[in-house]
Amino acid sequence: MTEKFDLATVYVSDAQYNRNIFFDTSPQAVRLYLLYNHWFMQMLVYVFIIINLALALFEDPAVVPLPIWATSTIEIVCLSAFTVRIVHYAKVIPKDKFWKDPKNICIIIIVTLSFIDLTIYGALKTSGYFGIRWSRVLRPLLLVNVTEGRQLRRAFRSIRNALPQISYVFLLFMFSVLVFSLMALKLFGKRGLFTIDGSPYFTDYLDIVFDLYVLVTTANSPDVMMPAYNYSVFFTIFFILYIVINTYTFMSFFLAVVYNNYKKYLKEEVRQLVKARRYKMCRAFSLLQETRGEGGEPVVTQAKWNRLVKLVKPNISIAHRELLWSVLDDQNKGHIGKFAFVQLADLLSIQVITVKSQAHPIQICFPSLYNSSASRFIRYMVHHRMFVYIYDLIILVNAVFIGLDEENPVVSNAEWGFLALYMLEIILKLYSTEPRAFFARHHFWNWFDTIIVVSALFGTIINSALKHSGGYTSRQILDIVFILRVLRLIRLVDSIKRFRAIINTLIKIGPTILIFGQLIVVVYYIFAMVGMELFKGKVHFFEPNSTSPDQEYCGNPLLKGTTFAKLNYCKNNFNNVISSFIVLLELTVVNQWHDILYIYRSKSALLTSGFTAVTHVSARIFFVLFHIVVVIIIINIFVAFILEAFLVEY
Amino acid sequence: MTEKFDLATVYVSDAQYNRNIFFDTSPQAVRLYLLYNHWFMQMLVYVFIIINLALALFEDPAVVPLPIWATSTIEIVCLSAFTVRIVHYAKVIPKDKFWKDPKNICIIIIVTLSFIDLTIYGALKTSGYFGIRWSRVLRPLLLVNVTEGRQLRRAFRSIRNALPQISYVFLLFMFSVLVFSLMALKLFGKRGLFTIDGSPYFTDYLDIVFDLYVLVTTANSPDVMMPAYNYSVFFTIFFILYIVINTYTFMSFFLAVVYNNYKKYLKEEVRQLVKARRYKMCRAFSLLQETRGEGGEPVVTQAKWNRLVKLVKPNISIAHRELLWSVLDDQNKGHIGKFAFVQLADLLSIQVITVKSQAHPIQICFPSLYNSSASRFIRYMVHHRMFVYIYDLIILVNAVFIGLDEENPVVSNAEWGFLALYMLEIILKLYSTEPRAFFARHHFWNWFDTIIVVSALFGTIINSALKHSGGYTSRQILDIVFILRVLRLIRLVDSIKRFRAIINTLIKIGPTILIFGQLIVVVYYIFAMVGMELFKGKVHFFEPNSTSPDQEYCGNPLLKGTTFAKLNYCKNNFNNVISSFIVLLELTVVNQWHDILYIYRSKSALLTSGFTAVTHVSARIFFVLFHIVVVIIIINIFVAFILEAFLVEY
Ligand code: NA
């Protein structure tokens, strides 16, 4: 019987958390499965994945260099952990299911390849040869496959499903770019025009294709048009048509295709989830069911149901459990049928906010004081609208004071006054509202306010103490205090109903935006690894107070006089994983990207590095590929997601 | 009776063309109304509007200067035409309806203001004073109001409806920008950092707000971040958060709000149109109805119906009319009820493609020749798939030849070969398909092909003749020939089914894109008029072969050494309406716009012009306003439209 309850518990919690694992139902497999789903094991896997990804900080080219033996040892530990995890998983589910799941095959291949790569790299390094850690590109895929990041995997699946449609539009778009480029070659190639840096304008077909591709991202507008425009105003027609068709229409088409697929896929996904959830609840029901009377419908008794709920959610309150039962057994029969039973998973997911009108602690300790007319007046005042308006006004005045020079003694003293006012507000509110109700989980702004104000108070005190003790002010503490002060202003938006609706939408979609964060990390990591191997050490950054003469051209004589050096872009390099991520972010924003990759695409610059023209082309391919993957696909999925979330929530 | 038919005709054609005018139903008003809707009158109005708008080309600052008396006379003629039109309209509809319609009030005000402005300007000019033609800003509004451009007016209404929601999101967005700016001031202001041009970094609050607003458009990324990034890598967190929240999330929110409103409004609009159409058809029915027998339902006889249809659509063929009747009177009763009658407007809008399998003219003239086995073989061949493949291959080879140097004799001779092949294709197709079927209206690609190939043939012959006669080749003719040659390649996409679907969607939404074109013209025109008054003559363009020393700094010594002059942006000015439109297009694309408006926002540059700091601020306001109106609102409406069209059509 216990085994049956164990199994039913697993089914219900799988249904509740939308897990889709076809585990073995033998008792020992079920116990292993429970261990597999334990929060500690899941957290451990995440920790190992983060450590594994973070290795890029310490491996060559490193932010903080560590010896190869150290990083290799850590990586071996991580890979072993993933191996243990996958072996554990293999024990839980039937053999045939295990080998049919591409996720598992993927993990096994990645772990194996990583071990092979480590061995080869170690051998090459010890014998003094040059080696590339190519398996680092595969690391972020573990984040997708090893973790139970179902949403992340779903996002990837959604991309995969949209790919065929995207590629048709993309091919047509590329055809359009190629045709326009050919037209540009014929129209401008023989006119003897020159670009601003003196090179011939639109004479090489592949260069034109690249330039016009960049124009789609708007990054080289209007520069790419200027020579033609200076020659004749009629040539702007060519560029206007190009921009309308390719930059606006096709880019909107991409968004439309992605959005369309996203919506379709989302619906299908939700349908499948509901179906799977129902199936699991039916399995759980059939384990606990008993038949009442002759030919009666099978039912589950309240006793069994109570035991199950206690197993699924050990810390559920009795009141909450009884509320759930009364919802299901609305006719008070003492047992429920299949139809009512399958709703349990949904009911458990609903957050029940128990608003108990408990008495205020002060009221309990000092009832006469708390109920005195003065006290009642204070409580009335705090709950009055004017109280909110007055504090909004205080915040506005505070905003002006923040904008003023904080070294002025009036301003810095006023800050104490504002802090006192904010503390008073919190105390007054705590006095007139029951503290547990005030700090209920769904009262976002109360939490926000209290944390910000109390931290600001501590920060200001520490800062002031430091100042008075040695006359020295820690810049870091001051920065934090400034940030806290400014954050306090955000509270203003909560007073305006329309803004609150928008902010609530933002807060609701917050968690899913984090999923996109993971998606971006996966893609950035892959491109960063490739980028570092291709471009590391090409550009150097010199601290602003450096006196090195190389500073002017980022330590690469080939950069003398280039826009890249002139704009002081030296820190935009692939010399370590952090800079690489920042460069990739700048490429995502798609501005000046042709300037950022100037050094990487300039033929002469790469010739000396022994890369010859091959890298010249590969650099362009690298950046165009990045644009396609990140801007055309991922950013559009992000926009599609915001669009749909907004249409549903707002 | 005739009067009744006239009135019914008007109702039906109003229903058919979705006109919503509550005209007077007296016989003479109906006759005036018919005149009002006459295609010639409508075209005339369009012509006057285009002339009125085109006046900007000839008025100071002019592309082609004309004396003031000439432009004023033309404008008076145009304004008089609009006056006549509105008086005509006033005669058609009841007085109270006329004065309730904001459209009419708008026209009267604009025309009156224009007359006043013209008088003042004329008086000022003749007495030698300085005057501004401020009423020119109002001109494009006539395009919206005077013409029967219902779709354009609908687009404007759709914007007006979305405005409240957009403004809430915009206010929150601006609040976010202001808070981030305050934080930037506190974090970076006291660190003594400098931008690339040596000015202090992030020390003035309003400058920070402007810089961060520009960052939302991505135009100054990554430059705005570089000083902070060079100082410490941690500061990039500030910019990353800023970009994620403001550039991505808020901009997606704007799209979501616009899209949401667009969808909602579109549905409501369609519902209203259907309702109004039904109402008008019921009015027409009640004019022509007669009751059959005792207590029978009112009906319209076939005779009356025929007369009505002949009046509504004089050039309808008898076969087509009889087809329509048989659809409505499916039980062959000789009369139809109200339900069938109201469908007439919809039926008339449907294009009936009469595919008559007519015999080929050659078959009629030379039947034995046309039916000979050789002739049959040719026709079989032309309709075979291989025929399409072979011509696709020819086009591909042609594409390579176009890419080669056309001065090579082999290439220029090959062109004759290709032309011959294309002509052969058209002749073969015309031989195997009935010519009228081949050139049916819905056969887009046949028309496209024939026009392109025949024009290319003529162009090439003329070009060749010119070359042989005087050795002189007209660059313009050559340009046209090149364009035609490249356009021929587009035919390739028709061979691939997936591409054809996308292209068909594009062709279908083409007309509506033209509506957006008008919308853009209206907004551009207004901004161009204001921009010209504010910034004309500040920057001068010198022809590339000019030897003037002023060329280096666009004729304005204050531009010496600025990015604007260095990038050779001199032609990006507001010196005439065409340049203004091109600058506005560049601002729409939102790249380098802070550089483009450099001259206009640089304090020192404007001080000398006597504008002082007021214009400095107003210039920023001008450009930010333009960004809000065009990029945030209009481009988003365009994207929303493409999105919806794509989801519906594809
Ligand atoms: Na840009």
DSSP string across A122-145: HHHHHTT-----GGGGGHHHHHHH
Supply the pLDDT for residue B613.
Answer: 36
Nearest CA in chain B to A219: B591
Judge whether residue A417 has pLDDT over 70. Answer: yes
Element (H, E) at A524: helix A497-535
Supply the pLDDT for residue A105.
Answer: 92
Q: What is the pLDDT of residues B385-429, one digit of tens each?
A: 899 889 999 999 988 888 887 778 888 888 889 999 999 999 998
Q: What is the pLDDT of residues B154-179, one digit of tens each?
A: 778 888 888 888 898 999 999 999 99
Nearest CA in chain A to B586: A222
Judge whether residue A531 has pLDDT over 90. Answer: no
- Which of A325-329, A427-431, B619-623 shows the highest mean pLDDT? A427-431
Q: How many CB atoms lie within 10 A of CB A105?
A: 13
- At B321, which amino acid appears? R
Supply the pLDDT for residue A294.
Answer: 66
pLDDT interval class at A593 (50, 70, 90) = low
Supply the pLDDT for residue A265.
Answer: 82
- Give mean pLDDT, residues B218-240: 87
- Which residues of chain B form CATH 1.20.120.350? 361-495
* Residue indicated by tokens 């190992």: A48
SS3 content of chain A, % helix, strand, coil (to 5): 75, 0, 25
Residues B635, A248: C-beta atoms closer than 8 Å: yes
Distance CA A488, CA A478 (A): 15
* Residue ranges of B 475-534 with Cβ closer than 8 A to chain A: 479, 482-483, 485-486, 489-490, 492-493, 498-499, 502-503, 506, 513
pLDDT interval class at A608 (50, 70, 90) = very low
Class of domain A363-489: mainly alpha
- At A76, which amino acid appears? I
Query: Between the CA of residue A583 and those of A439, A524, A627, A635, B359, what are the distances in Å?
Result: 42, 10, 13, 17, 68
Q: Burial code of A363-395, b = ≥16 C-beta within 10 A, e = fewer?
A: eeeeeeebeeeebeeebeebeeeebeeebeeeb
Percent of chain B with pLDDT over 90: 18
**What is chain A's mean pLDDT, rounded?**
83
**What is chain B's mean pLDDT, rounded?**
83
Contacts of A264 (CB under 8 A, 6+ apart): none
Judge whether residue B378 has pLDDT over 70. Answer: yes
Q: Which CATH number is A20-147 given? A: 1.20.120
Q: Alpha helices, DSSP H only, in A232-343? A: 236-242, 251-288, 302-312, 318-328, 338-341
Picking from B165, B179, B224, B594 by the largest number of A CB atoms within 10 A of its own CB, the best residue to mutate is B179
Supply the pLDDT for residue A271.
Answer: 87
Q: Is A462 on the interface with B (CB under 8 A)?
A: no
Q: Burial code of B164-199, b = ≥16 C-beta within 10 A, e = fewer?
A: ebbebbbebbebbbbbbbbbbbbbbbbbebeeeeee
Most distant CA pair in chain B: distance in Å? 98
* Closest C-alpha among B223, B220, B222, B229 to residue B191: B229
Length of chain A: 650
* DSSP secondary structure letter of residue B200: B
pLDDT interval class at A70 (50, 70, 90) = very high
Class of domain B361-495: mainly alpha
Q: How many CB atoms lie within 10 A of CB B213?
A: 22
* Closest C-alpha among B553, B454, B578 to residue B54: B578
8 Å CB contact between B60 and B536 = no
* Closest C-alpha among B590, B573, B591, B592 to residue B582: B573
Residue with the larger pLDDT of the pair A647 and B352? A647
Q: What is the pLDDT of residues B60-104, one digit of tens each?
A: 888 889 998 999 999 999 999 999 999 999 988 888 888 988 889
- Which of A310-324, A482-496, B68-82 shows the highest mean pLDDT? B68-82
Nearest CA in chain B to A591: B221
Q: What is the pLDDT of residues A74-93, one digit of tens each?
A: 999 999 999 999 999 998 88
* Residue indicated by tokens 């010399």: A575
In this complex, the residue of B403, B483, B643 whose CB is nearest that of residue A255 is B643
Supply the pLDDT for residue B604.
Answer: 35
Give the Å distance between the CA of A510 and the centre of ligand 1.
27
Q: CA-based Rg of chain A, rounded to a whole angstrom?
A: 32
Range with lowest mean pLDDT among A21-30, A613-622, A631-640, B128-137 = A613-622
- At A435, which amino acid appears? P
pLDDT interval class at A604 (50, 70, 90) = very low
* Closest C-alpha among B37, B69, B74 to residue B55: B74
pLDDT interval class at A45 (50, 70, 90) = very high
- Which residues of chain B form CATH 1.10.287? 156-269
Supply the pLDDT for residue B609.
Answer: 34
Q: What is the pLDDT of residues A167-184, one digit of tens each?
A: 989 999 999 999 999 999
Structure tokens at B62: 């002019």
Nearest CA in chain B to A252: B639
Indicate the Cα dihedral angle A270, A274, A279, A282, nearest 10°: 170
- Give mean pLDDT, residues A333-352: 80
* DSSP secondary structure letter of residue A295: T
Supply the pLDDT for residue A601.
Answer: 45
- Give mean pLDDT, residues B319-345: 83
Supply the pLDDT for residue B595.
Answer: 64
Distance CA B200, CA B208 (A): 11
Structure tokens at B192: 């003594």
- At A9, which amino acid appears? T
Structure tokens at B361: 């003219």
Architecture of domain A156-269: Orthogonal Bundle (1.10)
Sheet holding A335-336, edge to edge: A290-291, A298-301, A335-336
Structure tokens at A529: 């690894």
Picking from B57, B214, B486 by the largest number of A CB atoms within 10 A of its own CB, the best residue to mutate is B486
Length of chain B: 650
Q: Is B638 on the interface with A (CB under 8 A)?
A: yes
Nearest CA in chain B to A237: B582
10 Å CB burial of residue B291 (0-12, 13-18, 19+) is exposed
8 Å CB contact between A66 and A58 = yes
Q: Is B542 on the interface with A (CB under 8 A)?
A: no
Distance CA B219, CA A219 (A): 8
* Residue indicated by tokens 């540059």: B605
Supply the pLDDT for residue B52.
Answer: 94
- Give mean pLDDT, residues B272-295: 84
Residue with the larger pLDDT of the pair B269 and A140? A140
Supply the pLDDT for residue B529.
Answer: 93
Distance CA B180, CA B188 (A): 12
Q: How many CB atoms lie within 10 A of CB B483?
A: 18
Distance CA A133, CA A47 (A): 22
Contacts of A15 (CB under 8 A, 6+ apart): A276, A277, A280, A281, A284, A345
In this complex, the residue of A493, A568, A578 whose CB is nearest that of residue B196 is A568
pLDDT interval class at A614 (50, 70, 90) = very low
Residues A240, B585: C-beta atoms closer than 8 Å: yes
pLDDT interval class at B606 (50, 70, 90) = very low
* Residue ranges of A 561-590 with Cβ closer than 8 A to chain B: 566-569, 571-572, 578, 582, 585-586, 589-590
Supply the pLDDT for residue B241.
Answer: 92
Query: Between the CA of residue B179 and those of A647, B242, B246, what are the distances in Å?
Result: 27, 10, 12
8 Å CB contact between A253 and B639 = no
Nearest CA in chain A to B406: A186
* Residue indicated by tokens 């950046």: A623
Structure tokens at A302: 């309240």
- Give mean pLDDT, residues A334-345: 84
Q: Is B402 on the interface with A (CB under 8 A)?
A: yes
The dihedrals phi and psi of A298, each to the nearest 5 degrees, come to: -70, 145
Judge whether residue A483 has pLDDT over 80. Answer: yes
Q: Is A647 on the interface with B (CB under 8 A)?
A: yes
Q: Is B396 on the interface with A (CB under 8 A)?
A: no
* Residue ranges of A 214-243 with Cβ closer than 8 A to chain B: 218-223, 226, 229-231, 233, 236, 240, 243
3-state DSSP call for residue B291?
Answer: strand
- Give mean pLDDT, residues B10-18: 83
Judge whether residue B611 has pLDDT over 50. Answer: no
* Closest C-alpha among B162, B22, B45 to residue B101: B22
